Amino acid sequence: MASGFFAILDDIAFLMDDVALATKVATRKTAGILGDDLAVNAEKATGFLSNRELPVLWAITKGSLINKLIIVPIALLLNIFLPKAITFVLLLGGIYLAFEGVEKIVEYFFHSHKSDHKTEEDVPERSSALTPDNEKEKVKSAVTTDFILSIEIVIIALGSVLEKSMTIQIVTVAAVALLATVGVYGIVALIVRMDDAGYKLIKKSDDKGFLSKLGHILVKALPVIIKILGAVGTVALLLVSGGIFVHNIEFLHHVLPQLPDMIKEFGMGLIVGLIALLLFTAYKKIASLFKRA
């Protein structure tokens, strides 16, 4: 009886070792997409009044967890019964990411834009702060983008353990999905609260000494970091989408082989995004004409 119990513990220990190793490999393979996920979501978590940043980020985080709960079992089932459907879903997601990336570029160059990060002290800018409806819309957009990126993360993680047993596949993919959400949004929370930490350091040190200087650096650095992450997030959307097309469409994989992968993927994402934006704009105009008629 005792030997049987210890044999079970031994099997569990071996299983956990296998899962730990598989998770490490899967995390390494998804590192690039996790970096893109961080850049995109840090940019999307800004644009709110200071007292709304954490509630909004928590809403996006909950949405991300729900996304993972939906995606992980569906990906595992599709991999068993209909593996080709995974590629189709990835391509649809790639079109959405490309569209969103190009839309941001067009909006930046052809529409007026103001500083996104606002605090309670920015009274003159309160009129331009997001309304509750706009806030919900931005959260919805962030969760939708997270859904597409989560699909990519889950598929890459699953692809790294296909030769393993079903148990290891399930535990590994679930672990990577959870680490992705906790890690990415934990870092995002630290980024968007940099200025508040800076203000507290300045107040605590009576605006004197090393802590005061550090506080001022944090406050001044946040707008710069947000702008950088905004640009990086937009580029990341196009790179991820372009990578989906290049790696899942055989014809595109062999187009312009002399180009570096990064340039090729960015260009592909840009082209698909432009086409998607033009089609969407045309659809909106046609729909508005029918409404007026």
* Average pLDDT per consecutive 10 residues, the chain (293 residues; last block may be shorter): 46 54 62 65 66 81 91 88 83 86 88 48 43 77 84 80 79 85 84 84 86 88 80 83 86 82 91 94 88 75
**89: Cβ–Cβ under 8 A, 6 or more apart, which residues?**
78, 151
CB atoms within 10 A of CB 94: 29
pLDDT of residue 129: 53
pLDDT of residue 266: 92
Structure tokens, 21: 């190793």
| 278 closest CA partner among 144, 99, 149 | 99
| 154 closest CA partner among 179, 130, 133 | 179
Distance from C-alpha of 194 to C-alpha of 279, rounded to nearest angstrom = 40
pLDDT of residue 223: 81
pLDDT of residue 120: 40
pLDDT of residue 20: 67
Q: Where are the domains of the chain?
A: 2-292
pLDDT of residue 99: 92
pLDDT of residue 127: 39
pLDDT of residue 240: 81
Distance of alpha carbon 157 from its chain centroid, rounded?
A: 16
| 261 closest CA partner among 273, 245, 276 | 245
pLDDT of residue 195: 81
pLDDT of residue 70: 92
pTM over 0.85: no
Distance from C-alpha of 195 to C-alpha of 69, rounded to nearest angstrom = 33
pLDDT of residue 69: 92
